[in-house]
Structure 1
Amino acid sequence: MLVAAAVCPCPPLLVPEVAAGAASELDAARAACTDALGVLAAARPDRLVVVGPSQSGGVEVYPEGTAGSFRGFGVDLDVRLGGAGGDSAGARELPYALAVGAWLLGRTGWSDAPIEGLGVAEPLEAERCIEEGRDIAARAERVALLVMGDASACRTLKAPGYLDERAAPFDAEAARALGAADVEALRALDTELARELKVSGRAPWQVLAGAAEHAVLEGALLYEGAPYGVGYIVATWS
């Protein structure tokens, strides 16, 4: 059963080495992520699943020990799911969203429970995401989720997806739902609108909704902002 969840944004810029001179602009988001991971640790889960968007066509599982890298951003920095550095447990490398999750866990020294990663593709239908969440919640008596994903990328003229007037209302509702642990609102997110607004978190958030279906959890919104025109949300469920 799901006992806790942390929702965090997944831009590689969250990693100071990648952000370089702009690192301080995301200090508040990083601090909120650290607080969110503290909620996961306090829940004492038997298993932690890191869920995030991937470029695969469906769902991909990444076992503990799988490696990731930020070399594609010109930074000589490697991470591992379950600890920083080391060799991958498999041939595939973590997608960037899960690599950011691994980095967050590594900087907080996570060692409380076995870890695995789950990459979910942006086009994945809502019901499939919810089914994946149900399956995750049934894997152990006490399951925690670290859910990686961004809101819209269309908040300003300089945003990656340019300005879309629908972006701010979408992000506001997503932040409200995540901050209130509103499972039904997450289930009802508009998949097509999320795609148009370049929302990478829609599928991971709906995995969370499926995992929390039979749990009684309270939500808290720790951070909401749109640096660089992209919506970033940090929330906890416990």
Structure 2
Amino acid sequence: MLVAAAVCPCPPLLVPEVAAGAAAELDAARAACADALGVLAAARPDRLVVVGPAEQEGSGAHPQGARGSFRGFGVDLDVRLGPAGDPSADGRELPPSLAVAAWLLQRTDWADAPIEGLGVGEPLAPERCIEVGREIGARAARTALLVMGDASACRTLKAPGYLDERALPFDAEVARALGAADWAALVALDTELAYELKVSGRAPWQVLAGAAEGADLTGTLLYEDAPYGVGYLVAAWS
């Protein structure tokens, strides 16, 4: 049963050591993420599932204690997904989105419930995303979700995907859906358009939608901006 969810962006720039001199530019986003994680903690879940976009090699389950690193971004910084757990957790490295989630959780000293990670590939079909979410939501334990993912990367001329006039309305609809805990609207997202706009959060958001079916949750949009031409959204459902 899903009792709470937090939705956060996943740029490595959220980590101040990675952002370096530009770190202050995302202070408001970091604060909003901390507030969203506070909603999860207040729900007193029996377990936390962290879902984020991943390349093929990073997709699938990642156990509690799995390690991630920001060395690929030029920073000698390692993270762990919650406290040490499965002895095999030192094997496959967390994808960047789950490494950012692990960093956020470490900042909040999360230790209230067991944690598991799930990397989902961008091409994962909506039907499969919904199915995965339903499986998560159907378990008897009180479950919280931390859902990582960015909106479009086409909001400005200097954005990674250049300027696309479709990006702003797409992001606005996602923001509305997240703020209203409208899981049906997340199910209905245009998969092809999301791909064209370089949206990394589409699949994780649709996993959330599947988990939220039948749950009586309300949403709050805590942050919405595109400081680097990429849409960053933070929301909490409880």
Q: Report matched runs for 1:89-108 at 5 Å.
A: 89-108=89-108
1:53 offset after TM fit, Å? 0.1
Further displaced range: 18-27 or 52-61: 52-61
**Contact 1:61/1:118, CA 8 A, preserved across alignment:** yes
Distance 1:131 1:58, change over 3 A: farther
**Contact 1:83/1:106, CA 8 A, preserved across alignment:** no
Match of residue 149 from structure 2: 149
Amino acid aligned to 2:218 = E
1:187 offset after TM fit, Å? 0.3
Q: Report matched runs for 1:47-58 at 5 Å.
A: 47-56=47-56
**Contact 2:122/2:203, CA 8 A, preserved across alignment:** yes
Amino acid aligned to 2:110 = W
Match of residue 167 from structure 1: 167
**Contact 1:154/1:160, CA 8 A, preserved across alignment:** yes
**Contact 1:189/1:202, CA 8 A, preserved across alignment:** yes
Moved over 4 A (4+): none
Which deviations, in whole Å up to 9, do the C-alpha atoms of 1:117-176 show, x marking residues without a partner? Answer: 000000100010000001111234200000000000000000000000000000000000
Amino acid aligned to 2:95 = P
**Contact 1:154/1:229, CA 8 A, preserved across alignment:** yes
Task: Give distance in 2, aligned partners of 1:35 and 1:138.
Answer: 26
Structure 1: 5+ residue stretches without partners? none
Task: Give distance in 1, aligned partners of 2:83 and 2:19.
Answer: 21
**Contact 1:57/1:121, CA 8 A, preserved across alignment:** no
SS in 2 for 1:94: coil
Further displaced range: 58-67 or 151-160: 58-67
Match of residue 225 from structure 1: 225
Amino acid aligned to 2:135 = D
SS in 1 for 2:94: coil
Amino acid aligned to 2:224 = E
Task: Give distance in 2, aligned partners of 1:27 and 1:140.
Answer: 37
SS in 2 for 1:157: coil
Amino acid aligned to 2:41 = A
Match of residue 73 from structure 2: 73
**Contact 1:153/1:231, CA 8 A, preserved across alignment:** yes
SS in 2 for 1:227: coil
1:196 offset after TM fit, Å? 0.2
SS in 1 for 2:228: helix
Task: Give distance in 2, aligned partners of 1:143 and 1:23.
Answer: 32
1:57 offset after TM fit, Å? 7.3
Count of aligned pairs between the two proteins: 236
Distance 1:127 1:162, change over 3 A: same
Structure 2: 5+ residue stretches without partners? none
Amino acid aligned to 1:177 = A
1:89 offset after TM fit, Å? 1.3
**Contact 2:58/2:95, CA 8 A, preserved across alignment:** no
**Contact 1:47/1:140, CA 8 A, preserved across alignment:** no
Match of residue 113 from structure 1: 113
Amino acid aligned to 2:67 = A
SS in 2 for 1:217: coil
- TM normalised by structure 1 equals 0.97
Match of residue 32 from structure 2: 32
SS in 2 for 1:61: strand
Distance 1:57 1:132, change over 3 A: farther
1:83 offset after TM fit, Å? 4.1
SS in 2 for 1:116: strand
Match of residue 17 from structure 1: 17
Task: Give distance in 1, aligned partners of 2:160 and 2:220.
Answer: 28
Distance 1:178 1:137, change over 3 A: same
Task: Give distance in 1, aligned partners of 2:192 and 2:58.
Answer: 17
SS in 2 for 1:32: helix
CA RMSD of aligned residues (A): 1.4
